[in-house]
Structure 1
């Protein structure tokens, strides 16, 4: 039986037909309104009011009343910060200006360890008076921005569509819209559209509802005389699409008004379907990105290409664009059934030593390092049980349960400043105390809470009563990062569904407010995978089938995109010609780079894409040749095993776990190195026992 969900604008009114595949679901997206949600799932049964209010000032937002604050979105930079940041619907970029907006096609180039594709303000649209861009609606793939004058009048509305080379504008009143460069009727295009050349590329201006843009262009082609409700769109012509440009122009006449996303899971693969609704019901001009290459549809593609920082994107005309990725099942402990008695005895000794060490310490008090320590010790507990160390397992269990109960006291923050959770009424988000890495600004919640979900899921799997006790707060953490539907909150906007997950790109975003000129970003793709692995383990432990299905979709999609853009991207793609890096550890919408926020060491760039090594980390081993190439780059040597000191680097333990994916022979060599790896090279989210057990399971 295939699990199926549909994700669309919250205000949509749809009919869903019961069935087993996405083909059985019939619905029509409504205009972008209040965010992304799962239509056939109810909001999670959580009590936001059980948490005390965060002691934090209100965050200024350029956002319409009643909308869930869009933290961790590709367009978050439009909403937060003193000034709006450029955003990247891709393949185009768009920036708001003091009196309008500007768009363009980024010039993508690669050099050394960086792929660049920053905002290109090639075509200006100017209203002639100051305006503020206010996000007034968004859904799975579209964003609506009202351009508001000082008297609160909406002078016009900009609509951006994720994964489309089209920018659409609707006049809010009669107006002259200055264009910044001349447009004119052009041979080879319909007589009622206009075009201009930008650096050798055609940009086409197209009217909707029968509007002849040549009839409203000024004589010099540099402004439009628009009436209220007139809609125009700009299309950037693709590379190699000369023969299809006319078809694309015809489709652009029918502008996109909304989008929705559906998914279906099965034992072998997971399918995602993006559906666009246009004003007249026709197909949309969209692109297929590299991670969407395994098509699950029969749409018309091959109509040209664009270079993006993610790689070459293929142009399509589509109502629904679907793709499949390998299904990933949640997993925690490695399988030790094939490990011989001698090695099991060695592991048992190491578990005893590691357990004594962690139990002698106080776990950190913030959600990131505290969560990592809980997940680390949950893994150690699993090993102790597997190896028959009942006393050690009991001591670890008691310690873990004590700390988990402390963290999950709903009113804990009323009596202490740490190891507890609050609710930020401004950002509509759960904030752990003490915050770290900007988590109080919305940063990295899936990283932090993923570890807590993992630990809770591992322990609750065999103890339903414990799950019941932890659920009031753990369910809130799950809802914060992955609610299936908007979570109602008294006194204003809801908590958003799928807070961190970009359904078009198939991966998450880490920055809460994205105060950057290159869009949002995510560094540790593996910690994002870990978040959905933890979510699935928790859902399974709780018997929540709906959440379990959603978690498997997120897990499978994130794992596929992690490989497509972070660790296993196509180095032969012309769009990244000149890139000398084998991994790009920081992925943005406007660039990709082999860099981290914390270290310039090449080993850090790979290690942050591997940790934490758990039972689900096998997704990283799909291409052994690429695993080896990534390790060679990270370690600076072609001979991985000649000198054990090679691995005495940042994240050396994680890289040894990664090397075990090369095969039994390399796993055996990794095991020898791991035994004597310096203690300081064991990550604080792991133990030597766990490292040895993981590698041993691969020999």
Structure 2
């Protein structure tokens, strides 16, 4: 290791860069500059720059920042709306009312995509008997997964409310009655003119119950238009039914008059067992009857992580089967498997090559000016800095940290050296929508409020890397407030904040983020690069811990853990259940894009090139990307499908990302491909050669994540290779930390260090797999175990103790013993050096006791483990 450290440090003498200090403002700041510690943002838009539209279709009922990037957002952006897919229902607000459709029975697979979108001929329109054309539709209220919209014409009014997972649409009326217009005469199989409730089947074969208030009657039976005469009341509801049985209709009637008026999800990170508990609550208002609560349909990522009792009703969706439950609330519990600032340095590969790559990256610069591509540059620097630190110490890392500081400080200052408003590299706050806009922008990040979590996530991750080693820079007095504003823009944890909406980019019920600000597409909203969302959430985790803000840390853990489960279900479908439509097939191994109304597997926004179609949900690959390794068999399938689609491994683009992903399922093949192209490959724009080699080499050494083991500290990973686990912790704090894993492994790690090599924890055989404790050895003084690398001598003492002497064939800097007495708790302890040998005495043992043990010892710069052995004391 000394040779490599000296190599990198010698390079520093040539490539050392003097840090730039924040410039001092000359004169007064411009009138629209808002100071935030050492930074600032503008409330005045720079001349010549785009802005988001000024019109928001909302009522005066809504005050404060406007929710965007949701499945229903097109209502706020357009005169009526585009298609919306809360599932199981789909709907569009249009001039004659709310057009309703149930795609459940018609989900189809078309090979490259799964479709469940609205149709030119859908089920019916829920309208108003006295208005044929409303001037617009306006958002009147919204909660965590429900929205309420208002249609108004003079004194006539229609209000509708609907949401994720709900089979119901609720409506209230002024100046008229509910009028339902069908494309052909519906079949009526329950009720008549004088009953308040009808059961119907539409032309598409979809079953609904129509719930008028008690005492109401119907007109138009036998025609394409049904009118419910409210009889002096003002409420009405519709439910899509799983079947056309009277028993089912009567079950749905129990909750038909319990209108959902508020929804809320609240999360809690339970650190001691690394679990995210989320509680979803429905607030209902009884219009009649005695029932509270409602019926709701759960997505796969919800019911797979919940003990909520389920009814025998299901719906199909483009996310897979939804299962129905009832009540006022439900709870999910999901395991958080940790994040790391980088992988630990444990790989067996050419360190001089890695050092040369780091040297090359000392000169990393960018010509990018917009928030996305500049963010990718920040991502390169923040990923390589901790690798450089492991190889060459803080002097090496600080070359990259200084570049990060220079870039971020420029963006985080709205005025130039003369105190005037800059025209680029700044953030502007739009108080109409409640959003922070970066200039120059790209991919609709300003005009359409697209992709803020993708763009700003790189900035936050970069700031977190600085904060990991420089808390003063990250303080509120310096640059921390600007980072917190970026977090609040895309994922505000404060419901009462008057600057930004709550969790803008994240859909709590769907379990993942949305990219489009306006969602103004017939296919609904969309999200492409799920991995860039994970990069953002990991950045929040790291930033929160580094700055001592546990609220933000736990927010990031909630977002990261929930989105991870959604990715595994809907992008990757690791259980091969959700990409199996009953009609047709989906022949792709991955979804490249998720839409409200479809799942796409053959294209991204700019290309159908297979490398990018697959790779868009891998990048950027960092220490926070280990969730990709939890299912190596799926990773093998994903890679092999890409290989078949490309027809060979002569990759046209992003070969570095492909090798890094290949290392999950076959590191030897990844190394082979890398070595064939090591001298000529060009990394993906957000990646580096150093990160490529470091990832592949360390996955080869460590294996993949074992998601069955957790820790009581967020910055950990448990790797599994063959029959052994390696427990890794990075201590983000300023004090020594002891971390306990759920398999009873305990590690102690110093401040701002990985635990590798300190003898507490490390690599141990996995119980129950090959390599577990074997048969008892021969008892007696002087028992010898000889292997190529070491010799172990076991001597029983007369004072009810036994001494183990470990003698390596080459010198070791440390030797640790791990043992269990009579299969009790595992102990992990440092032995004492005695010349060339290392000794440890186990006290308080008795004849007949069985000791299962193994040793960890250093050999060169790496640590190795022996097999398990068993020794039985002489009886």
Note whether the superposition's TM-score is higher than 0.5. yes
Q: After TM superposition, give the deviation of residue 60 of structure 1 in Å.
A: 1.5
Unaligned stretches of 5+ in structure 2?
A: 1-35, 701-875
Distance 1:184 1:47, change over 3 A: farther
Residue of structure 2 in register with 1:434 after alignment = 440
Residue of structure 1 in register with 2:160 after alignment = 158
Distance 1:176 1:293, change over 3 A: closer
Q: TM-score, normalised by structure 1?
A: 0.85
How far apart are the structure 1 equivalents of 2:496 and 2:473? 25
How far apart are the structure 2 equivalents of 1:228 and 1:522? 45
How far apart are the structure 2 equivalents of 1:677 and 1:628? 26
Unaligned stretches of 5+ in structure 1?
A: 1-44, 640-644
Q: CA RMSD in A?
A: 2.7
CA contact (8 A) 1:294 1:325 kept: no
CA contact (8 A) 1:52 1:414 kept: no
Q: Larger radius of gyration, structure 1 or 2? A: 2
Q: After TM superposition, give the deviation of residue 187 of structure 1 in Å.
A: 4.6
Q: After TM superposition, give the deviation of residue 465 of structure 1 in Å.
A: 0.9
Where do residues 221-620 of structure 1 align in structure 2 (5 Å cutoff)? 222-226=226-230, 230-239=234-243, 244-266=248-270, 267-280=273-286, 282-299=292-309, 301-336=310-345, 338-340=346-348, 343-356=350-363, 358=364, 361-388=365-392, 391-411=395-415, 414-440=420-446, 441-468=448-475, 469-486=478-495, 488-489=497-498, 494-573=499-578, 574-575=580-581, 577-594=584-601, 595-620=603-628
Distance 1:229 1:497, change over 3 A: farther
How far apart are the structure 2 equivalents of 1:394 and 1:457? 14
Distance 1:290 1:241, change over 3 A: farther
How far apart are the structure 1 equivalents of 2:249 and 2:678? 61
How far apart are the structure 2 equivalents of 1:203 and 1:57? 40
Q: After TM superposition, give the deviation of residue 383 of structure 1 in Å.
A: 1.5
Residue of structure 2 in register with 1:195 after alignment = 199
Residue of structure 1 in register with 2:54 after alignment = 59
Q: TM-score, normalised by structure 2?
A: 0.68
| Residue-by-residue CA offset, 1:292-333 (whole Å, 9 max, x unaligned) | 13243333x232211111111112223212222221423221
Q: After TM superposition, give the deviation of residue 157 of structure 1 in Å.
A: 0.6
SS of the aligned residue for 1:195 comes to strand
Q: After TM superposition, give the deviation of residue 228 of structure 1 in Å.
A: 6.2
Distance 1:570 1:308, change over 3 A: farther
How far apart are the structure 2 equivalents of 1:202 and 1:657? 49
Q: After TM superposition, give the deviation of residue 395 of structure 1 in Å.
A: 2.7
CA contact (8 A) 1:171 1:227 kept: no
| Residue-by-residue CA offset, 1:154-188 (whole Å, 9 max, x unaligned) | 51110112111211111123436244366787459
How far apart are the structure 2 equivalents of 1:130 and 1:228? 24
Q: After TM superposition, give the deviation of residue 677 of structure 1 in Å.
A: 5.6
CA contact (8 A) 1:165 1:235 kept: yes
Distance 1:84 1:192, change over 3 A: closer
Residue of structure 2 in register with 1:113 after alignment = 112
| Residue-by-residue CA offset, 1:579-607 (whole Å, 9 max, x unaligned) | 11111111011111112001111111110
How far apart are the structure 2 equivalents of 1:471 and 1:277? 37
SS of the aligned residue for 2:659 comes to helix
Residue of structure 2 in register with 1:17 after alignment = none
Distance 1:483 1:353, change over 3 A: same
How far apart are the structure 2 equivalents of 1:124 and 1:601? 41
How far apart are the structure 2 equivalents of 1:600 and 1:499? 29
Residue of structure 2 in register with 1:31 after alignment = none
Residue of structure 1 in register with 2:788 after alignment = none
Residue of structure 2 in register with 1:23 after alignment = none
CA contact (8 A) 2:610 2:646 kept: no
Q: After TM superposition, give the deviation of residue 353 of structure 1 in Å.
A: 1.8
Greater share of helix residues, 1 or 2? 1
SS of the aligned residue for 1:157 comes to strand
Distance 1:240 1:374, change over 3 A: farther
How far apart are the structure 2 equivalents of 1:240 and 1:129? 31
Greater share of strand residues, 1 or 2? 2
Q: After TM superposition, give the deviation of residue 676 of structure 1 in Å.
A: 4.3
SS of the aligned residue for 1:321 comes to strand
1:697 aligns with 2:698: yes
CA contact (8 A) 2:343 2:698 kept: yes
CA contact (8 A) 2:495 2:501 kept: yes
Residue of structure 2 in register with 1:30 after alignment = none
1:129 to 127, 132, 144: 132
Higher relative contact order (CA 8 A, sep 6+): 1
CA contact (8 A) 1:116 1:309 kept: yes
Distance 1:471 1:390, change over 3 A: closer
> Which deviates more, 70-79 or 236-245?
236-245
Q: After TM superposition, give the deviation of residue 195 of structure 1 in Å.
A: 1.8
How far apart are the structure 2 equivalents of 1:476 and 1:651? 33
Where do residues 58-97 of structure 1 align in structure 2 (5 Å cutoff)? 58-65=53-60, 66-81=63-78, 83-97=80-94
Q: After TM superposition, give the deviation of residue 691 of structure 1 in Å.
A: 0.7
Distance 1:176 1:546, change over 3 A: closer
Q: After TM superposition, give the deviation of residue 58 of structure 1 in Å.
A: 4.2
How far apart are the structure 1 equivalents of 2:323 and 2:142? 25
**Count of matched residue positions in the alignment of Structure 1 and Structure 2:** 633
1:204 to 202, 209, 225: 209
How far apart are the structure 2 equivalents of 1:590 and 1:601? 23
Residue of structure 1 in register with 2:750 after alignment = none
